[in-house]
Amino acid sequence: MTLTSNAGPALNPAQQEAVDHTEGPLLVLAGAGSGKTRVLTARIARLVQEGHARPAEILAVTFTNKAAGEMRERITRFLGEEPSGMWIGTFHAIGARLLRAHAELVGRTSSFTIYDEDDTLAVVKRLMERHRLSPKLYTPRAIGAAISDARNALVPPAEFTSLALTPMAKAVAPLYAEWDEAFRSANAVSFDDLLWLPVQLLQQHEAVREKWSRRFRHVLVDEYQDTNHAQYELIRLIAAGHGNVAVVGDDDQAIYGWRGADVRNILEFERDWPQAHVVRLEDNYRSSPSILALANVVIAENTERRGKTLRATRPDGGPVTLLGALDDRDEADAIVDDILTRRNRGDAALGDVAILYRTNAQSRPFEEALRRRVVPYRLVGAVRFYDRREVRDLIAWLRLVANPADEEAFRRAIGVPRRGIGDTTVELIAATAREHGISLLAAARREDLLAGARASTREALATFAELVDRFREIAEDASVDHLLGRIVDLTGYGEALRAEGPEGLDRLDNVAEMIRSAAETVIDDGGEVGLRPLDHFLQRATLVAGLDQFGPDADAVTMMTLHTAKGLEFPVVFIAGLEQGLFPLSRSLDDPESLEEERRLFYVGITRAERSLHLSWARSRRRNGELMPSVLSSFVTPAAEKLVVHSATVRLRATGRVIGMRPVREPTAWDETGPRTWRANPAREKPVEIEDMSQDMPAFVKGERVRHKTFGSGTIADVSGNGRDLKVTVDFDDEEVGRKRLVAAFASFERGVD
C-alpha cells in the first residue's frame, strides 16, 4: 500500500519499503537529509491505519523533547486525530513513566523527585564530605561525571570497585557504593537513574518485562546511532518478546562517543536481531551534488560503517571551495568579507549563513571580526566568548591588578581558584574595609583588623594579597598575554580547570584563546598613548562584552560547533579550522575509533550545507600565546582535493609564498599546543617549498633605535622569541608612553632612527 495524506509528498521507493515492513526487526540506515523523520511517522500512521496496532500499543522513542513534539504533530496530521494512548518521548521521559508505574519495586513511591544537575551535585558533595575526599583533589563535578558514566554503561557499584585501578576510580568507588541508598532515602532519582532503574526493573522482574512487552507491540527508535548501553538495553528488553523493533539512524553521523554513545549498537544490529530487514535511504533532499560528492568521498575513508552513497535530488549550487589563510585572524576576516559580499549581491541573507568550527574557543576571532564590521551574529549552544565563566574570572584578576580598589573584581578573584575563603570571610573583610575607609584588598592585608578570622584564613588572605602585588609588578613592563599566563600558573587556576574533567579542558582552550586575544589587542588597535597595555586590553574587553545581543528573529549569522549543528541545515555553510591537530583533534590521531568519529563529525558538517559549502584553514594558529605552524587536515585527502576549488586570502598571497596545498613537511608528533616534530611529506611527488616564517622577519638587537607610528621613537631594551613570534621591548622617548613590549611582526617599526 502506498501511504498518501495531507502530510507531504509521496514517499520514494526506499522510504515506502521501510514504511511497508510490518512484522519483525527493521533497520533503516537513513543518510543525511534523506527524510528519516517522515519515514518514522508514516510507518506509525500505517500501523494504526491498517489495524496492525492500536496507538496505545506503540512506543516511539526520540532524543529530544522537541523531536518528540514534532513527531506527535506529524502523526496527528497523518491520522487526522491525536494518537491517544501512544507513548512518544525521550528515553528519560519513557524511563520516568515506567518508574512511576512500579516505583515500589525500586524502593521509591510514585511521587519520587527527579534531581536536576545541581541537586545531584549536592549529593556528590555530601558523599565527598562523609568520606573526607577533598574537592581540591577531585572536583564534585568530575566525581559526578565518573558515576554518570558508570550508570550509563550499566556498571554496578560492586563491579566498579573491582575494576577501579586509577587513583580517581579508587576515590569514586566508595562514593558510588553509597549512591543508591543516598537517593533511595530521599525518595529521589538522578537523571541517569531514569535509565539505570528501568533497566534493572525489567531485568529483575520477569512479569513486569512481559507486561510492557505485551503492551508495546511495536517499538520505534529515532537516532539509534546515538544510543548508549543503557538505552540499547532498555529497548532490547521491551522488544525482546515480539521482535517488532524498528530503528532509524545513520552510522555515518555517530558523533557522540565521547558522552557514552556506542556506534556498535547500529553497526551490529543484526547480532541481536538476526532476522532484521535493512533499508538504506540514500536520496538526499537537502544538499547540492557538489556537496554530496565531497561528503561521500570523505566518509568513504572510514572502515567501521555499513556503507551507503548519498544521491542528490536538487540542482547544483556551485563548487565547494577551500580557502587558505595566513593565520586564524586572517581566516575570520576573509570569511566575514565573503559573507558581506554575498549579502550585498543579494545571494544570501545573513540568516542563511552558518560558520561551523570544531571547538568553542574558535569563536573568538569570528566574534571580533563580525563586531568590527558591525555584523549581527547569533552564537548557538555556547556563551559568548567574553561572557564565559573562565574569561570573566581572569578579567576579574586583571581588573584587580589594574585597580586594587575594584571591589567587585576582588570579590570574584578571591574565589577563583578556591582557597578556603568563603562568603562569610569576604563579608568580614568588606565590613572592616568600610569601617576604616580602605579597599577590600587593603583590608585583606591587615591581620590586625581581621582578628575574628582563623589563622589559616588570614594566611590565605596574605598569600592572595602577595600574588596581587607580584602581578602588579609584572604588569608594569610585561605584555598582557605574559601577565595572564603568570596568573593562570601562579594562582593554580589552570590546575583547577584541569581537575574539572572534560568540561575543564574545554575551558582551558578558552583561557588559551583569551591569552591570544591579549597578545593581539594592542597590535590591532596600535595602542593608546597614556594607557598601559593592561588598561588598554581591559578597556577593549569591557566594550566588547557590553555589546547588545541580537534577538532570535534578527537577520544574523549563526555560529556554532559542529556537534551543535547536527540536525540543522543552512543555505550557506563555512567550516573553519581544517588543520591537523585541530580537526581532527590531536588526541584522536593515535586512536582509530576516535579518528573515525572525528571524520564523521566532518561529514555531519558538510551535509549541513544546502547550496553552498566553503572550507578554510590557516597556515598558522596561535596556541598558548605562540604562533604555531599548521598543516592542512588529513581529512582533505587527494581525492577530496579534486572536488574543491582552491583559493588563498590576499594576506597569504602577499607573503610571496607558493600556495601549494600541502607543505614539504608534515607533523609526526603532537602535544596540546600543536605539532612538535616534523618529517618530509610523502604525500606529494613534487613537493612545493614553503619559506620558513622566520625568513620573513628582520633581526633586531638591543640598543637599536626604532620608530613606531603611534608611540614615536625609542630604543630596543630586550628581544625574545623568533620568527613571527619575535617580541621586542622598547623604551620610548615619550615618558607618557614609557616601556612597551610589542610583537615585531605587527609593530611596523622604522629602523635606523637617529
pLDDT of residue 247: 95
Beta pairing partners, 188: 113
| Residue 162 CB contacts under 8 Å (≥ 6 apart), including other chains | none
Q: Is the pLDDT confidence value at 525 over 60? A: no
Which of 165-174, 646-655, 728-737 has the least mean pLDDT?
728-737
Helix (H, G, I), strand (E, B) or coil at 250: coil
pLDDT of residue 71: 87
Beta pairing partners, 677: 669
- Of the candidates 16, 231, 253, 649, the residue annotated as catalytic is 253
pLDDT of residue 371: 85
Residue 438 amino acid letter = I
Handedness of CA 732, 734, 739, 741 (dihedral sign): negative
Q: Within a 13 Å sphere around the CA of 660, how many CA atoms are in the beta-carbon half?
A: 15
Instruction: Judge contact between 490 and 413, C-beta under 8 A.
Output: no
Mean pLDDT of 74-86: 86
Beta pairing partners, 573: 354, 613
pLDDT tens digits, 276-295? 999 999 999 999 999 999 99
pLDDT of residue 748: 65
pLDDT of residue 570: 95
pLDDT of residue 677: 45
Dihedral, CA atoms, 133, 137, 142, 147, nearest 10 degrees?
A: -40
Mean pLDDT of 193-210: 95
State residue 396 phi and psi, 5-degree precision.
Answer: -60, -45
pLDDT tier at 723, thresholds 50, 70, 90: low
Q: How many whole angstroms separate alpha carbon 28 and alpha carbon 281?
A: 7
pLDDT of residue 345: 92
Q: Is the pLDDT confidence value at 693 over 50? A: no
Whether residue 727 lies in the annotated active site: no
Which of 103-117, 137-151, 610-624, 652-666 has the least mean pLDDT?
652-666
- Of the candidates 193, 223, 262, 352, the residue annotated as catalytic is 223
- Of the candidates 222, 328, 352, 481, the residue annotated as catalytic is 222
pLDDT tier at 241, thresholds 50, 70, 90: confident
Q: How many whole angstroms separate alpha carbon 143 and alpha carbon 160?
A: 13
Between 636 and 476, the higher pLDDT residue: 636
- Of the candidates 108, 608, 623, 707, the residue annotated as catalytic is 608
Q: At what angle do helices 455-477 and 389-402 cross, to 10 degrees?
A: 80
pLDDT of residue 615: 97
pLDDT of residue 235: 95
Which of 52-56, 368-372, 675-679 has the least mean pLDDT?
675-679
Whether residue 608 lies in the annotated active site: yes
pLDDT of residue 725: 58
pLDDT tens digits, 705-718? 888 877 788 888 88
State residue 716 phi and psi, 5-degree precision.
Answer: -70, 125
Q: How many whole angstroms separate alpha carbon 310 and alpha carbon 96?
A: 38
Using a pLDDT cut of 90, give the percent of the chain over it: 41
Whether residue 222 lies in the annotated active site: yes
Q: Is the pLDDT confidence value at 695 over 60? A: no
CA distances from 114 to 110, 296, 665 (A): 11, 43, 55
Mean pLDDT of the chain: 83
pLDDT of residue 657: 57
pLDDT tier at 209, thresholds 50, 70, 90: very high
pLDDT of residue 530: 45
Question: Cα angle vertex 178, ends 176, 182, to 5°?
Answer: 115
Mean pLDDT of 129-138: 88
Query: How many Cβ atoms are within 10 Å of 633's Cβ, its own excluded?
Result: 22
pLDDT of residue 78: 85
Could you please report the per-residue DSSP string of 674-702? EEEEEEE-TT-SSPPP---GGGGSPP--T
- State yes or no: cis peptide before 584, omega within 30 of 0: yes
Nearest to 370 by CA among 340, 328, 327: 340
- Of the candidates 15, 16, 37, 227, the residue annotated as catalytic is 37
pLDDT of residue 517: 73
Q: Is the pLDDT confidence value at 524 over 80? A: no
Helix (H, G, I), strand (E, B) or coil at 525: helix
Q: Is the pLDDT confidence value at 590 over 90? A: no
pLDDT tens digits, 8-18? 568 999 999 99
pLDDT tier at 340, thresholds 50, 70, 90: very high
Instruction: Judge contact between 737 and 536, C-beta under 8 A.
Output: no
Mean pLDDT of 643-647: 93
Q: Is the pLDDT confidence value at 116 over 90? A: no
Q: Enter the DSSP assignment of 551.
A: P
Mean pLDDT of 509-528: 67
pLDDT of residue 311: 93
pLDDT tens digits, 558-581? 999 999 899 899 999 999 999 999
What cell does 119 get? 541537586
Q: Enter the DSSP assignment of 585.
A: B
Handedness of CA 742, 746, 747, 751 (dihedral sign): positive
- Of the candidates 15, 16, 36, 507, the residue annotated as catalytic is 36
Handedness of CA 721, 722, 726, 732 (dihedral sign): positive
